[in-house]
Each structure stands twice: as structure tokens, then as C-alpha cells.
Amino acid sequence: MNQLRPSVCIDAVFEGLPAVEAIEVVRNSGITAFEFWGWWDRDLAEIESATDDTEMEISACCTKFVSLVDANLREQYLEGLEASIQAAQRLHCKTLISQVGDAVPGLSRSEQHASLVDGLREAAPMLESSGITLVIEPLNELIDHAGYYLVRSDEAFQIIDEVNCPNVKVVFDIYHQQISEGQLIANIKANIDKIAHFHAAGNPGRNELTSGELHYPSIFDAIRDCDFDGYVGLEYWPLKEASAGLREIATWFRD
């Protein structure tokens, strides 16, 4: 059984705090990995230096936010991905997170699904040659992302099967999928081979994992039982003092 590895999304947990300070607080909490959203508006040299100084790992960052469901934007998406791969390699980051874009009015879901698959197939060679894994992200449309195309994990897993590339998988956001579909543990266990990254937050509210209706110790036990060897990204907005909350959650991953 693999030990789960936590990662902290500094853009959420430490929103507004300079990256260098956030990275230091994460390290002092006992967690040795972090992630963030956009690399293109960051001082990458500063991130590199802070990562080296704290001996931290960067678990994930995002590729550029260009729609995959709109085939007219395919070239722009691939150009953004190429630049993102270069940034990820510089940062020794092995995972890029990709949103897929909002649903396109006037296009059927089958057309948009096909565009998603085709775009990821075109992306596959550059991902395989770089050793980077791209994870597509289903999001809930009821509360946070009205109009977003990819809502349910079953379609995301179907897309992964159709693309059939070991470097294209899913980031399973436990918060989003609880809202969109429930059946979290069953869906995770049935599809763990298609999941390369997790996100976690309490529901309702997207706050600490210790609040709300989700029993994270049970969910994490189920993921451990699957021998998952990726990261669990803590992507939430704290209600309490952030570093104290992280120290508490960090103990879950040492048990």
C-alpha cells in the first residue's frame, strides 16, 4: 500500500500571499509539495529558488486556459501546451492540469466530446516525449462553474479511454465530484488507473477538509487501498488560520 502524498495549492490556501512566503509556510507545516495555477504570471526563477531552498516538490501547475471543446482553438491550445511543458520541465513538475473550456453554444455534446478527444490525441506525442502527464479536470456546474463542459467523471474517463495515451489522465477533484455526482469511493476505485492527481476540499463551502459532509479519512483510505502513487492536492479556502489547519491535515498522511 502506497503512502499518500499531500500537496498544497498555494493560490487557494494562501490566496494573496507572496509565493515565497506561502511555500515556506507549507514546508513548516510538514508538507513537502505544493502546486499552483498559472505559471505564465509567475516569476519562475523565484519559484525555482524557493523550491530549492525549502527542498520542496512542485506537484502540478496548469496549462494555458484555452478551450479543448472548440476545434477552432486547437492550434492555440497546442501552442499553449507546448509552452507549458517547457515551463513544467524547468520547474521539474511532472503534471499539468488542463481545464477543457465552457460548452460551445450551437455545438452538440458529441461534437464537443470529439473535439476534446482529437485535441488530446494531437497533444499526446509531445506529452510522451517530455514525460509530462496532462490531467483533464471535470468541474461542478451547480455552484462554481456554470456553463463548463466537462462535469461528470464518467465522461472524463471515457475520454481517457478514447485518447489511449498513458500521459493523458484525469484530476479527480473530490469536492467537485461530490456536488456533480456523488458515489466518490466507488467511482475512484473503479477508475484509479485513469486518475493521476486528486484535489480535495470540504463541502459545502470549499473550506477545510475537516468541515462539511465529506469524511476524508475514509476517502483517503480507499485511495490508499488502490495503491495510488500520485499527489492529493489540498485546494481549499481556509476559514481558520491556514498553517494550523495544514499541520492538522498533515498528520492524516503520516498515519
- Active site annotation includes 241: no
Per-residue CA distances from 140 to 27, 148, 154, 169 (Å): 31, 8, 13, 18
Q: What is the DSSP letter of 148?
A: B
Given the residues 15, 48, 137, 213, select the one marked as catalytic. Answer: 137
- Active site annotation includes 213: no
- Whether residue 60 contacts residue 102, with contact meaning beta carbons closer than 8 Å, is answered with no
Given the residues 55, 128, 235, 248, select the one marked as catalytic. Answer: 235
Which helix (DSSP H) or strand (DSSP E) does residue 114 occupy? helix 109-130
Checking phi first, is residue 30 left (phi over 0); if not, alpha (psi -120 to 50) or beta?
left
Give the closest residue to 168 by CA, choosing from 205, 214, 131, 135: 135
Enzyme catalytic residues: 137, 235
